[in-house]
Amino acid sequence: MDPIVACEIRPAGVADVEEIAAAHLDSIRSIGPLYYPADIVNEWGARVNGALYVNAMARGEVFFIAVRELDEEREVVGFSSHRVDEDEHRTAVYVRGHAARLGIGSALFRTAEASAIVSGATSLHVDASLAAVRFYKANGFEEVGRGEHRLSSGRLMPCVFMRKNLASRQSKIMLLRSAPYFPVPDVEKASTYYRDVLGFQAEYSAGSPAQFAIVSRDGLAIMLRRVADPSELSPNERQGGTWDAFFWVSDVESLHDELRSKGADLAYGLVVRAEYQMKEFAARDPNGYVLGFGQEWPQGSGSSET
């Protein structure tokens, strides 16, 4: 089961190039063999060294790194970049094998995407390795073609050409996400519960021990912030309310069965609310916050439990 990883994302400089190279090589060697033969993987990593990034920075490419601190040890677990090639804005994201699928890559990409938007990009392009196609699709890219990338050795490596349109984000100001903000006495413990029981994923975590984290499911996030005194917690249920957050879902019955099978503390089971045409249930987390989950239910007929 994947651990919750606390990391800091910041701009990178020349002093970071060797650690960027180490993270890049780890990603190629640990993830690449799942998609390419050994000779391609070896040639892919052959020219990866600190000088590669020094030269890229000199040409104007901007890099961001994710830094993890664990037991006083510091490690760069991934990086992203943004550059302009012949008026085409391009990006790249790599994470170490042990840091994959923890939300670190997506957080790194969003930082590079923001850099591109600030510099006037209306779209982002990437020549994605076969290993990265699913990641980029999850972050809004579309496949525009397939071909080959020429490695420094001259060897051709299959890749997928992908693009993400940013124009709509620039042409109209939009609210893109929202998140409830829950003070908790133990951020790591709360994050683990949301992951293991409620099916959320770790999207971001800061501090060691964690002081702040974002967990999300299907792009919908909850923020967790550490407070030293548990008596400061004030969930709505304790004040006569019902939920601290409510999520509209596509299949409320299946979600109810999933969470119940994982041992979730249900504040109430499935009910049909005819007065506002909703079938819903609610789960209570270990700190008392209640999450409601509901689905529009036009065939509802009363508020009896089903």
Q: Which helix (H) or strand (E) holds 258?
A: helix 252-261
Q: Indicate whether 92 pLDDT > 90.
A: yes
According to CATH, where is 3.30.720.110 located in the chain?
A: 234-306
Mean pLDDT of 274-300: 90
Q: Are strands 265-273 and 278-284 parallel, antiparallel or unpaired?
A: antiparallel
Mean pLDDT of 171-191: 85
Q: What is the CATH number of domain 177-228?
A: 3.10.180.10
Q: Which amino acid is at 96?
A: R
**Closest listed residue to residue 203, CA positions, set 115, 62, 105:** 105
* Tokens matching residue 41: 């993987």
Residue 301: exposed, middle, or buried by beta-carbon count in 10 A (0-12, 13-18, 19+)? exposed
Q: How far apart are CA 273 and CA 287, in angstroms?
A: 26
Q: How far apart are CA 256 and CA 247, in angstroms?
A: 13
Residue 246: exposed, middle, or buried by beta-carbon count in 10 A (0-12, 13-18, 19+)? middle
Q: Indicate whether 171 pLDDT > 80.
A: no
Read off the pLDDT band of 172 (50, 70, 90): low
- Residue whose tokens read 């007929």: 301
The pLDDT of residue 96 is: 93
Report the 10 Å Cβ neighbour count for 295.
18
**Closest listed residue to residue 107, CA positions, set 3, 209, 206:** 206
Q: What is the pLDDT of residues 38-78, one digit of tens each?
A: 999 999 999 899 999 999 999 999 999 999 876 678 899 99
Return the sign of the alpha-carbon dihedral for residues 250, 252, 257, 258. positive
Query: Which class is 234-306 in CATH?
Result: alpha beta
CATH architecture of 7-171: 3-Layer(aba) Sandwich (3.40)
The pLDDT of residue 73 is: 80
The pLDDT of residue 230 is: 85
Q: HSE on the CB side for 47, CA within 13 Å? A: 12
**Three-state DSSP class for residue 81:** strand
Mean pLDDT of 219-236: 90
The pLDDT of residue 266 is: 96
The pLDDT of residue 11 is: 92
According to CATH, where is 3.10.180.10 located in the chain?
A: 177-228
Q: For residue 58, give Cα distances in angstroms to 15, 22, 76, 125, 217.
A: 13, 20, 21, 21, 39
Report the 10 Å Cβ neighbour count for 240.
6
Rounded to the nearest integer, the mean pLDDT of the chain is: 89
The pLDDT of residue 306 is: 36
List beta partners, residue 223.
181, 214
Read off the pLDDT band of 1 (50, 70, 90): very low
Q: Indicate whether 300 pLDDT > 50.
A: no
Q: For residue 39, give Cα distances in angstroms to 25, 75, 97, 118, 160.
A: 15, 28, 19, 39, 19
